[in-house]
Amino acid sequence: MGSQKKRPVTLAAADRAELVRVTTAGVHPASMIRRARVLLALDTSVGQVAAQEVIALRVGVSGETLRLVALRFTETGGDVWATIGRKAREHPPVPSQITGEVEARLITLACSQPPEGYARWSLRLLEKHVTLIEDIPDLDHSTIGRILKKRNRVLL
């Protein structure tokens, strides 16, 4: 029972009541309810805590989950809501290269006359011409097809 000695979970009475409310009433994500049940089972303020294997069986999680929830509880400084809630993203999502201006330029290119020697634009031909234009990022032919399909611009 190493995590009990290294990272004891001691809950205040108000925190314990909130966790009981989360596990018994209302609509909450299953992961939040599971972590709340783990915190309640690991709480040392009510007395002696059972062995880690017994708690894992009772709550229905692995020993690793018990360790991770106890670790997160200590990392958040005993904040119950930060422990049972979702983590904030470390990195923001990558913004798309395809903006409205890029779409407009691509549609304009697709609606223009094809180059000399071609009867119509193909997706691969558009891909080659997009790589030549410096203002538009390099796009794959499947991405070009998705953009044109989204705007109901079908190449014939």
Residue 2 CB-half CA count within 13 A: 5
| CB-CB contact of 54 with 22 (8 Å) | no
Helix/strand/coil for 154 = coil
pLDDT in tens, 108-137: 999 999 999 999 999 999 999 999 988 889
What is residue 154's predicted lDDT score, i.e. its pLDDT?
63
| CB-CB contact of 26 with 60 (8 Å) | no
Q: How far is 65 from 67, CA to CA, in rounded Å?
A: 5
- For the chain, the domains span 2-84, 100-150
What is residue 21's predicted lDDT score, i.e. its pLDDT?
93
